[in-house]
Amino acid sequence: MAEKRAHHAAKAKHCVFLFMNGGPSQVDTFDPKPMLKKHDGKPYTGDAKVGSNGRAVGHLMASPFEFKKHGQSGLEISSLFPHTARHADDLCVIRSMHADTAAHASGCLQMNTGSIFIGKPSLGSWLSYGLGTTNQNLPGFVVMTDPRGGPIGSASNWTAGYMPAAYQGTLFRSGGSPLLDLATPEGTSDRTQRRSLDLLRSLNEEHLKMHPEETELMARIESYELAYRMQTEAMSTVDVELEDAVTREMYGLNDPRTADFGRKCLITRRLIEKGVRFIQLYSGGGHIEDTWDGHNDCITNHTLHAGETDKPIAALIADLKRTGLWDETLLVWGGEFGRTPTSEGVGKPGRDHDWHGFSMWMAGAGVKGGQAIGATDELGFKAVEDRCHVSDLHATVLHLMGIDHTRLSFPHQGLNQRLTGVEERHVITKALA
C-alpha cells in the first residue's frame, strides 16, 4: 500500500485513539458539575426517560471524585486521573459531544465508522485509504484490544466495510507474537518460503482475474506478502524488553494493574516510530464490569479502569515528547457515549448510558491544549453549547491528518460515500492550534 498525497498540509502524521469501551461518565472525569453536588439525592425533574432505551432514571447523584484545576490553564480534571492531569495544558477537552444511540454495539460502530449500522469502513480504514502507509513492512492501521475481551461488534469496529479488505485494521496481540503463526516454521528457509509465497500469489492472481469483484482475495494476497515482511520488523517492534527499565517502569509494566495497557501504550510509541498511521487501543472488554459500563457501581468501576489506564496514557504523552514525536502525533480519548448524572436506581451507585452529552479529549499535533470546548447543561445531561457530533470529531481528525472530509469519498452502490455522511458536518475549529 503506497503512501498517498494529502489534501492539505497535515498537522499530524499519526493518530492514536484511546478507546474507553463501555462509556466513561463525563461528570466523574472531565465535566465538573457543582449544581449536581448541590442537588445530590434529589429527584430528577427533567425528561423522565433519558436513560438507555428510554428507561426512567433514578435520583441525581453527585460525583464522589474531586475536581481540581491543573496546569497554567486551570483545566479542571477529576481525581481519577492524577497522572494525566499533569499534562492538562496539552489537553483539549470537548465537553459537548453527542451521539445518536444509547446501545453499546451501535455506539461503538458510530464512534468508529460514523454510522450506527454495520458494514461501514472505520476511521482507520478511511485514513489508510486516503493516505496509504509509509512503512511497507508494517500495517498502516493497528488495533490492540483488552485481554478480557473485545468491544461489542468485534472486528466490525475496525472493518474496511465496502472498501477493499486491505484497508481494514490489523489486530495485534499485546503480548508475545503480535500475530499468531507469524514466525517462519522451523526448518523452512527464507528461499523456500519466498518460493511458496510466489506460487500462492500466482495462483491467487489467476483466480482473481476470473473473479475481479472479490476484493478479499486481493487483500489475502497482500496480507501474505505483508506477513512475510513483518516477520522481522513486527516482532522487534512489539518487544518492549528492548526498552530500558526506567521506560518500562514509567509505563507501569511492573504493576499488574497497569501492565497490560502500559504495554500497549509502549508498543504504540514504537509503532509510531516505525511510521504506523493509525493505532487504536481498547480499555475494557468482555463482561459488563470489565468495561467502563458502570451500571451497578460507577465508583468502583471507574476507579478500576482509570487506575489501569491513567499512568500509561500519561507515560505515552511524556514519551512522545521525549522522542520528538509529540508534534506529529494526534491523541484522541473517549468512549462510545457518556453516563447519566443520575443513579441507575434507588440506593444503587451506578449510572445509565447518556448519549445526549459527554466528554472526550484530543491532544498533540495541531491541537490547542489547556482548554475545554462546549458545555453540557448544569447537571451534565445534555450538550447545550458548541455541540459536537461524533461526525464533527471525525471531520476534525481527518483535517488534522491532512484530509478534507468533504473530498474523501469512496464509490459504493452508486453513491460517493463519506465517513462523515451526507449531513453537514464541521471541523471543530476551536480545538485547532
Q: Which three cell numbers stand for residue 52?
A: 438507555
- Note the pLDDT of residue 193: 66
Residue pair 267/238 in contact by the 8 Å Cβ criterion = yes
414: left (phi over 0), alpha (psi -120 to 50) or beta: left
- pLDDT at residue 245 in the model: 97
Distance CA 68, CA 8 (A): 39
Closest CA to 317 of 360, 361, 283: 361
Instruction: Note the pLDDT of residue 287.
Output: 77
Q: Give the list of residues 6+ apart from residue 31 with CB closer than 8 angstroms, or none.
A: 93, 95, 358, 359, 376, 380
- CA–CA distance, 292 with 304 (Å, rounded to integer): 9
Residues 337/353, Cβ–Cβ less than 8 Å: yes
CB atoms within 10 A of CB 328: 16
pLDDT of residue 199: 80
Q: Whose CA is closest to 168, among 180, 160, 179? A: 160
Residue 390 C-alpha cell reads as 461524533
Residue 352: its pLDDT value, please?
Answer: 92
Please provide residue 87's backbone torsions phi and psi, each rounded to the nearest 5 degrees.
Answer: -110, 25
Angle at 175 between CA 170 and CA 179, to 5 degrees: 35
Query: Going residue by residue through the chain (433 aa), what tens digit of pLDDT does each one get?
Result: 678 889 999 999 999 999 999 999 999 999 999 999 999 999 888 765 665 666 667 899 999 999 999 999 999 999 999 999 999 999 999 999 999 999 999 999 999 999 999 999 999 999 999 999 888 888 999 999 999 998 999 999 999 999 988 899 999 976 666 666 556 666 666 677 677 777 877 787 777 788 776 767 766 666 666 666 666 677 788 889 999 999 999 999 999 999 999 999 999 999 999 999 999 999 998 777 799 999 999 999 999 999 999 999 999 999 999 999 999 999 999 999 999 999 987 678 999 999 999 999 999 999 999 999 999 999 999 999 999 999 999 999 999 999 999 999 999 999 999 999 999 999 999 999 9
Domains of the chain (ranges; CATH) run 14-176+238-431 (3.40.720.10)
CA distances from 367 to 56, 91, 406 (A): 38, 8, 21
In this predicted structure, what is the pLDDT of residue 182? Answer: 59
Burial track 167-196 (b if 16+ CB lie within 10 A, e otherwise): bbbbbbebeeebbeeeeeeeeeeeeeeeee
